[in-house]
């Protein structure tokens, strides 16, 4: 088990000054023993663009000799990584062998809502769902996960999630690392809590609804404290935060810099040098890390500084942690040693005056409970908790709008289905460079203005969702529905 610094207590959570000094003081080092599991890759073209997934329960070994009950797609936990090529049509069949309804949402894909697995496309236990995904968007890292009405958090927590690599040939053209699992490594980050018998612990109480399910253990591709043997040279990490609620504040133990090359929707115009990177639930970033010095290094996270204070945290959760160790292996030949100066020709945002503006206020529990601002209690958007039978917003297909999103007391990762947007401002200021590319999820603490092009059809029968990607918030009502016709 990962140990945590004992002094991260509810008293310091929320106090950024205390966190800044406390952030780097780790407890005893972790036993990085287990090799990083790499989910099997299915290149859709190698199977005639026909993909079959089976959602089922399984048993996965987080701990030696102590299997844990989990769920996965065609395996005990998580799913295969799927590579889809631009221009192809992928026929997907999902068989539900779970004992509850599920769906499969293609997070980040630009597909019509009828093809997507939102709450309106449930798959009953023992049945199958067929869909066709027409891939027509830039190369990027997306993912898939359940999105059933009211049951998303538990299903993702139990292990249902997988990565999608959209491929348009750019990696080859740009000379980026692209050998899956060798120098192009998927890192699906999640936070879990375990009972002493090794079973996954999920508390049902109001604290979980309020703050989302959190834990004291970070898992990477389903493994605790793994070690990745990487080539001596440049390596690409595809970071996906698949946690229910936890934000990671990533950096390397030797404070080395790395380059962010892509956000949710694809490549940035040019690499952005960083030493820290915050990634919230639902977000993806691709980074290039230079292991040419052949030195081992650990990817770490600071404590989640976006948890509200008020002493609500019980236990030592979402604290600073060491996540994964990288051990460069001189016998692995690295093909890539230089970072391209230019990655994409992303268009300027252009004129935004005259565009329709809408406001979305994310009402969180604390305000609702105190009855300070809204009539209804609990989690909602613009005062209305999610109703599967109510359309909240209607946009015109082909138009662009500016959405102004305002948080409540805590930070919420706001996600919109079926779009890739651009962030115009965060709290009135231009976003940092690595957040200026295409996004489908933005962490909002305060306010954000986003420019959203609606290119995918969503009907009344199959509306798209917009919601907080803290999965317990989504399940409890911080979600709305929009139609694009």
Task: Compute the least distance from the CB of residue 441 to Cu ion, in Å.
Answer: 11
Q: Which stretch binds Cu ion (CB under 5 A): 26-34, 284-292, 370-378, 410-418?
A: 410-418
Task: Compute the least distance from the CB of residue 401 to Cu ion, in Å.
Answer: 22
The β-bridge relationship of strands 41-43 and 81-85 is parallel
**Judged by CB, which is closer to Cu ion: 30, or 365?**
365
Q: Which stretch binds Cu ion (CB under 5 A): 74-82, 175-183, 311-319, 461-469?
A: 461-469
Check binding of 361 to Cu ion (CB under 5 A): no
Distance CA 445, CA 405 (A): 9
Check binding of 473 to Cu ion (CB under 5 A): yes
DSSP β-bridge partners for residue 289: 235
Helix (H) or strand (E) holding 279: strand 277-279
Task: Compute the least distance from the CB of residue 470 to Cu ion, in Å.
Answer: 4
Check binding of 468 to Cu ion (CB under 5 A): yes
**Judged by CB, which is closer to Cu ion: 120, or 365?**
365
Task: Compute the least distance from the CB of residue 442 to Cu ion, in Å.
Answer: 12
3-state secondary structure of 433: helix
Task: Compute the least distance from the CB of residue 420 to Cu ion, in Å.
Answer: 21
Residue 452 corresponds to which tokens in the numbers above? Answer: 């959203």
**CA dihedral of residues 289, 346, 429, 251 (deg, nearest 10):** -10
**CA dihedral of residues 213, 216, 222, 228 (deg, nearest 10):** 140
Check binding of 470 to Cu ion (CB under 5 A): yes
Half-sphere exposure of 414 (CA within 13 A, CB side): 31
DSSP characters for 347-373?
PP----TTSEEEEEEEE-HHHHHHTSS
**Judged by CB, which is closer to Cu ion: 183, or 475?**
475
Task: Compute the least distance from the CB of residue 192 to Cu ion, in Å.
Answer: 19
Task: Compute the least distance from the CB of residue 473 to Cu ion, in Å.
Answer: 3
**Judged by CB, which is closer to Cu ion: 250, or 362?**
362
**Judged by CB, which is closer to Cu ion: 60, or 415?**
415
Check binding of 439 to Cu ion (CB under 5 A): no
Task: Compute the least distance from the CB of residue 368 to Cu ion, in Å.
Answer: 12
Contact 380, 374 (CB under 8 A): yes
Check binding of 381 to Cu ion (CB under 5 A): no
Q: Which stretch binds Cu ion (CB under 5 A): 102-110, 171-179, 267-275, 408-416?
A: 408-416
- Residue 352, number of CB atoms within 10 A of its CB: 14
Distance CA 235, CA 224 (A): 21
Task: Compute the least distance from the CB of residue 406 to Cu ion, in Å.
Answer: 12
Check binding of 236 to Cu ion (CB under 5 A): no
Check binding of 8 to Cu ion (CB under 5 A): no
Chain-centre distance for alpha carbon 17: 27
DSSP one-letter code for 188: E
**Judged by CB, which is closer to Cu ion: 187, or 410?**
410
Distance CA 297, CA 321 (A): 14
Check binding of 145 to Cu ion (CB under 5 A): no
Q: Which stretch binds Cu ion (CB under 5 A): 272-280, 351-359, 416-424, 466-474?
A: 466-474
Task: Compute the least distance from the CB of residue 13 to Cu ion, in Å.
Answer: 17
Check binding of 412 to Cu ion (CB under 5 A): yes
Q: Which stretch binds Cu ion (CB under 5 A): 157-165, 221-229, 411-419, 425-433?
A: 411-419
The β-bridge relationship of strands 479-484 and 464-468 is antiparallel
Task: Compute the least distance from the CB of residue 412 to Cu ion, in Å.
Answer: 3
Number of residues lying near Cu ion (CB under 5 A): 4
Check binding of 415 to Cu ion (CB under 5 A): no
**Judged by CB, which is closer to Cu ion: 74, or 280?**
280
Distance CA 353, CA 12 (A): 43
Helix (H) or strand (E) holding 68: strand 66-73
Q: Which stretch binds Cu ion (CB under 5 A): 233-241, 282-290, 294-302, 470-478?
A: 470-478
DSSP characters for 390-426?
---EEE-TT-EEEEEEE--SS-EEEEETT--BEEEEE
Kindly provide the residue ranges of all beta strands, DSSP E only, lying in 281-396, ordered along the sequence: 284-290, 297-302, 321-329, 356-363, 380-381, 393-395
Distance CA 61, CA 131 (A): 32
**Judged by CB, which is closer to Cu ion: 246, or 473?**
473
Half-sphere exposure of 449 (CA within 13 A, CB side): 15
Q: Which stretch binds Cu ion (CB under 5 A): 118-126, 178-186, 293-301, 460-468?
A: 460-468
Q: Which stretch binds Cu ion (CB under 5 A): 120-128, 202-210, 407-415, 457-465?
A: 407-415
Give residues in contact with Cu ion (CB under 5 A).
412, 468, 470, 473
């Amino acid at each position: 088990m990962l140990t945590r610094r004992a002094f991260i207590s509810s008293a310091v959570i929320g106090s950024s000054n205390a966190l800044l000094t406390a952030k780097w003081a780790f407890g005893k080092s972790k036993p990085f023993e287990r090799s990083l599991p790499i989910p099997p890759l299915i290149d859709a073209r190698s199977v005639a663009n026909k993909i079959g997934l089976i959602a089922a329960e399984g048993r996965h070994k987080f701990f030696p000799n102590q299997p844990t009950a989990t769920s996965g797609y065609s395996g005990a936990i998580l799913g295969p990584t799927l590579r889809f090529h631009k221009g192809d049509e992928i026929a997907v069949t999902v068989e539900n062998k779970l004992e509850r309804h599920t769906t499969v949402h293609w997070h980040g894909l630009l597909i019509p809502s009828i093809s997507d697995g939102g709450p309106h496309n449930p798959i009953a236990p023992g049945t199958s769902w067929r869909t066709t995904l027409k891939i027509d968007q830039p190369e990027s890292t997306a993912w898939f996960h359940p999105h059933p009405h009211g049951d998303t958090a538990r299903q993702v927590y139990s292990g249902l999630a997988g990565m999608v690599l959209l491929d348009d040939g750019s990696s080859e053209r740009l000379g980026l690392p692209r050998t899956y699992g060798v120098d192009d490594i998927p890192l699906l980050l999640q936070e879990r809590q375990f009972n002493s018998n090794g079973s996954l612990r999920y508390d049902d109480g109001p604290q979980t609804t309020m703050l989302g399910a959190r834990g004291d253990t970070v898992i990477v591709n389903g493994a605790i404290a793994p070690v990745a043997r990487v080539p001596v040279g440049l390596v690409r990490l595809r970071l996906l935060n698949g946690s229910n609620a936890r934000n990671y504040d990533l950096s390397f133990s030797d404070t080395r810099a790395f380059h962010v090359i892509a956000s949710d929707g694809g490549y940035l115009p040019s690499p952005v040098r960083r030493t820290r990177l915050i990634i919230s639930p639902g977000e993806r970033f691709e980074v290039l890390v230079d292991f040419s010095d052949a030195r081992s290094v650990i990817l770490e996270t600071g404590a989640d500084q976006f948890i509200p204070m008020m002493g609500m945290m019980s236990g030592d959760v979402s604290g600073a942690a060491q996540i994964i160790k990288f051990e460069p292996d001189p016998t692995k030949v690295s093909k890539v040693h230089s970072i391209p100066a230019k990655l994409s020709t992303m268009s300027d945002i252009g004129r935004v005056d005259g565009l329709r503006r809408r406001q979305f206020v994310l009402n969180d529990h604390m305000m609702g409970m105190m009855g300070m601002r809204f009539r209804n209690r609990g989690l909602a958007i613009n005062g209305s908790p999610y109703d599967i039978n109510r359309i909240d917003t209607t946009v015109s297909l082909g138009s662009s709008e500016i959405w102004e999103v305002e948080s409540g007391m805590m930070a919420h990762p706001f996600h919109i289905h079926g779009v890739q947007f651009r962030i115009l401002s965060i709290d009135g200021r231009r976003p940092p460079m690595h957040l200026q590319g295409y996004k489908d999820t933005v962490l909002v603490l305060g306010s954000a203005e986003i420019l959203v092009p609606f290119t995918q059809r969503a009907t009344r029968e199959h509306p798209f969702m917009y919601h907080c990607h803290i999965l317990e918030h989504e399940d409890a009502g911080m979600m709305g529905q929009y139609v694009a016709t």
